[in-house]
Structure 1
Amino acid sequence: MDIKRRNIQYSKPCPVYLLASLGCVTTLFSEMVCYPLEVIKVKLQMNGTQGCPKYKYMKQFISQTKSIQLYYRGFDAHILKIIPQSTTKIFAYEFIQTAFTGNIVETSFLRKLSTAAAAYGVALLTGNMGDIFRIRLINNQDLSLIQAIQQSYKKTGFNGFFRGYWLNLITITSIQAIEISLFQKFKRFFIHNLALSHNSIITDALTSLITGLTSGILTAPLDGFKTRYMNQFIDQYSYWNTFINLIKEEGFLALYKGTFPYCIKLTIGSTFTFVLYEQFKKQII
């Protein structure tokens, strides 16, 4: 197999900490823009379950939610996830990539996926806690972030901060698998059929949009199940019990609640993050 190796001369040095900072900034910006969709998604996923209010349609929730503050409910917990996770992810990815691929640029799908999954596995050690508290704050209007942390630690101990870790990792790895396998295929299709430039921002944006939409549709059930599971305390139900009870009480289609805002958020978020990151990166390399 012909393997291409790195033979790139950078006009400026680009240390990993700078890439990590750029990754954090672009992720934070895209999450700020898309966070109202995250709130809507979680509300619909938990619709009428575990003591949460019931909404017949997404339009009903929007019509009843007048304050902009409610659309950013739990964003402080989300920041607790974004900042450590996004920076740790890039540090881990660059380290693992160098350790396993050396100066190889183009590698197999399995190698790319393994590297990305390992990096996310490390990053989730810092970000999983923020994910849990974001979901619980969105579903409990009377709870503050400090109270949520204290409540969780009191009832479940330190292990409660890692509730749903493996489910979170599986969801993220599935998204990565879809994006890694489809991104270049979609990009080649647009270049060959629409005569777009390989380095054009329009090409990157269009490819990211289609890839994000596809991964959103395919991984929505995993994300829905993750939300249900993380909203509980660790001493209530296991993965299997949560899944069985959900299917028995609501049917398999319950896993697709909140799919529309989830797909839109993933599509817009991945496009913002990727395009901004690549554009910032071009300015320093």
Structure 2
Amino acid sequence: ETASGLLKTEGFKSFWKGIVFAYGREMSYTSIKLGAYAPVRDALGAGPDAPIYLKFLAGAITGGTGSVVGNPFDVMKTLAQTNSKSSVPLTQLVGNMYKDQGIQGFYRGVEVNIMRACVLNATKMGCYDVAKGAVSQKTGWSRKDPRTIFCSSFIAGFFMTITVAPLDMIRTKLMNQPTDKKIYSGFRDCLTKTVQKDGVLSLWRGFVPIWARFAPQATLQLLTIEFLYTSCGFKGI
């Protein structure tokens, strides 16, 4: 229903609104959270067989760092996607944001974004790392086998959706609220009002579409980063 309504009102191109900002976000945020995971994990004294909490910690550190760098792109992407008017030039969109709110405007919702990134990447990389060991042990496939990577990525995508869906909803509400008359004072206020109004389960509204995005995205990202690690002579995850 949402997709058909969007198609009727804004056309087919609306599904790619904000794609430039999304690309900028992936170039910064994703490169850090994925590329730095193994080095940070190893720096913590962990390896493929290390305790689970160290793998989750490494994922949280790289995810949080990447989110700070990528937050401006995230804000602009959200604004571009929620703009129901005709497409606004990128320079004008950025200029309007800076004129109205200054540098702080580009870091709107950064607190919940860092929280989301830490939870997402800790879950993603931690579950993926653990799943690789479990899949490899059960099947006899090596950790570098594409089948191991594929299965582990799919498992990680499911758990990512469970942990991140509530944070995604709160983050979007905070980023979309009017600048002149804020509806929520912060993360806790937004969470409390959402639960009071719609119930706890509303935090997982849109679970299936989010999983449908996370599963293939995680699989492609992890297959790619594993290939790059190997091609550059580094050990895989």
Give TM-score, length-normalised by structure 2. 0.79
Q: Could you tell me how far apart the structure 2 residues matched to 1:180 and 1:280 are?
A: 16
Matched, 1:75 2:40: no
Is the 1:164–1:230 contact (alpha carbons within 8 Å) kept by the matching residues of 2?
A: yes
Secondary structure, counterpart of 2:172 in structure 1 = helix
**Residues 200 and 111 (structure 1), Cα distance of their counterparts in 2 relative to 1, 3 Å cut:** closer
Is the 1:116–1:176 contact (alpha carbons within 8 Å) kept by the matching residues of 2?
A: yes
Matched, 1:199 2:144: yes
Between structure 1 and structure 2, the one with the greater Rg is: 1
Query: Offset at 1:139?
Result: 0.9
Match of 2:65 in 1: 122
Match of 1:110 in 2: 53
Match of 2:216 in 1: 268
For structure 1, list consecutive stretches of 5 or more residues without a partner in the other structure.
1-56
Matched, 1:173 2:118: yes
The CA deviation string for residues 79-127 of structure 1, in whole angstroms up to 9 with x for no partner, is: 23222333454676577567654xx635443333333323333322321
**Residues 145 and 247 (structure 1), Cα distance of their counterparts in 2 relative to 1, 3 Å cut:** farther
Query: Offset at 1:284?
Result: 3.4
Which of 62, 74, 79 is equivalent to 1:131?
Answer: 74
Query: Offset at 1:61?
Result: 4.0
**Residues 75 and 187 (structure 1), Cα distance of their counterparts in 2 relative to 1, 3 Å cut:** same
Which of 116, 132, 137 is equivalent to 1:187?
Answer: 132
The CA deviation string for residues 208-251 of structure 1, in whole angstroms up to 9 with x for no partner, is: 11211222133211111111111224561322333333334433
Is the 1:89–1:120 contact (alpha carbons within 8 Å) kept by the matching residues of 2?
A: yes
Is the 1:224–1:258 contact (alpha carbons within 8 Å) kept by the matching residues of 2?
A: no
Match of 1:21 in 2: none
The CA deviation string for residues 115-172 of structure 1, in whole angstroms up to 9 with x for no partner, is: 3323333322321011111111111132443333233323322112111112111112
Query: Offset at 1:196?
Result: 3.6
**Residues 194 and 138 (structure 1), Cα distance of their counterparts in 2 relative to 1, 3 Å cut:** same
Which of 165, 185, 196 is equivalent to 1:238?
Answer: 185
**Residues 170 and 137 (structure 1), Cα distance of their counterparts in 2 relative to 1, 3 Å cut:** same
Q: Could you tell me how far apart the structure 2 residues matched to 1:115 and 1:266 are?
A: 20
Q: Could you tell me how far apart the structure 1 residues matched to 2:203 and 2:25 are?
A: 24
Written as runs of structure 1 = structure 2, the 5 A alignment for 1:11-160 is 57-58=1-2, 60-61=4-5, 64=8, 67-89=11-33, 100-101=44-45, 105-106=47-48, 107-142=50-85, 143-160=88-105
Calculate the aligned-residue CA RMSD, in Å. 3.0
Q: Could you tell me how far apart the structure 2 residues matched to 1:225 and 1:105 are?
A: 34
Is the 1:109–1:181 contact (alpha carbons within 8 Å) kept by the matching residues of 2?
A: yes
Is the 2:33–2:62 contact (alpha carbons within 8 Å) kept by the matching residues of 1?
A: yes
For structure 2, list consecutive stretches of 5 or more residues without a partner in the other structure.
none
**Residues 75 and 180 (structure 1), Cα distance of their counterparts in 2 relative to 1, 3 Å cut:** closer
Moved more, 170-179 or 250-259: 250-259
The CA deviation string for residues 171-225 of structure 1, in whole angstroms up to 9 with x for no partner, is: 1211223234432443344334444444320111111112112221332111111
Match of 1:283 in 2: 231
Counterpart code for 1:169? I
> Percent same amino acid among aligned pairs?
22
Q: What number of residue pairs does the alignment pair up?
A: 227
Counterpart code for 1:138? Q
Matched, 1:216 2:161: yes
**Residues 246 and 149 (structure 1), Cα distance of their counterparts in 2 relative to 1, 3 Å cut:** farther
Give TM-score, length-normalised by structure 1. 0.67
Q: Could you tell me how far apart the structure 2 residues matched to 1:199 and 1:87 are?
A: 20
